[in-house]
Amino acid sequence: MSGSGRPRTSSFAEPPGIPGAVAAPAGSAAAVGSSTGKSGVPQASGSSSSGCSNLKLTRDSGKVTTVVATPGQGPDRPQEVSYSDIKVIGNGSFGVVYQARLIDTQEMVAIKKVLQDKRFKNRELQIMRKLDHCNIVRLRYFFYSSGEKKDEVYLNLVLDFVPETVYRVARHFNKAKSIIPVIYVKVYMYQLFRSLAYIHSQGVCHRDIKPQNLLVDPETVFKPRTPPEAIALCSRLLEYTPVSRLSPLEACAHAFFDELRQPNTRLPSGRDLPMLFNFSTTELSIQPQLNSILIPLHARSHASVHAEFSSRTGPFSAKLVSKCEPLT
């Protein structure tokens, strides 16, 4: 806001100057990690402008940055968003991920900054605006910014911040020479299969499932003997012939996860399990013959209410990295 004394960065909901760019409808296809294909870079519908900001995200705990961003959910109504405490927390071939704090709510967020290559079509934004699931990281806002080179445009995705990964959790237990309790393995695997079933139902394929891309709460803790049900499940998941392989929801219905469906099951800490049976109408329509197994008797009343609510509210936006509910 002018006159506030804060640094002001003007960013736009639409990248200018990209030949052949197509309008990105709210709700298109795809997966974790960006899907690319030849064509122009898609634009998100929203306000347009003649240029992008010269926003350069660097580590600066004192600076407050204000951008004009479009909400990831609902109508394309650009608004000012301010954040501070910026620092790099990850990078790769996809771009750079920053951690920041929203000024208005004081919530931590992750900002994924990706170069928009004019030679390829990046569907990542379309994908994330389409998905709505409790085990998929939510897209808060998005905005475009210019780079240091001429005509360099970056897409910035403001996402839920989940600080840990399954990879780091497993490495922690390995270094401590201890083993993750099976109940935690079940909870994480179940939520992964559930999120996969959902994205598959939306025509999306997760192209890069690995421990580093599975986000978990930092305070969660994960028997020496592997249960036979776990071995049976893995053997079905590793079937060479696709038609013989378990689908994600069939995996959720497997006997390995029966313990999670027991009404008295708790985490080792004594706390309740995260929400595992709040299936939406979309999820329940994927393989309806499994619904009687997926929703145990003690959870059916809540699930039916949730399903009815979901059918009335419609989809919101979310992100493309699988997320596990906090377990503490």
Q: How far from 155 is each of 82, 134, 189, 273, CA to CA, in Å?
A: 17, 24, 31, 36
> CA 214, CA 62: separation in Å to the nearest integer?
31
38 is in an annotated binding site: no
- H helices of the chain, where? 124-130, 166-175, 182-201, 228-237, 248-252, 281-284, 291-294, 300-313
Task: Spell out the residues 6+ positions from residue 133 whose beta carbon is closer than 8 angstroms to its own.
Answer: 194, 195, 198, 199, 280, 318
- One-letter identity of residue 281: T
CB 167 within 8 Å of CB 211? yes
Of 60, 117, 151, 208, the active-site residue reads 208
Q: What is the CA radius of gyration of the chain?
A: 21
* Half-sphere exposure of residue 239: CA atoms within 13 angstroms, side-chain side: 12
Supply the DSSP symbol for 285.
T
> CA 101, CA 171: separation in Å to the nearest integer?
28
**Token representation of residue 181:** 């309790």
**Token representation of residue 116:** 């928009």
> CA 262, CA 257: separation in Å to the nearest integer?
9
Residue 217: active-site member: no
> CA 189, CA 203: separation in Å to the nearest integer?
21
Catalytically active residues, by annotation: 208
Annotated binding residues for ATP: 113
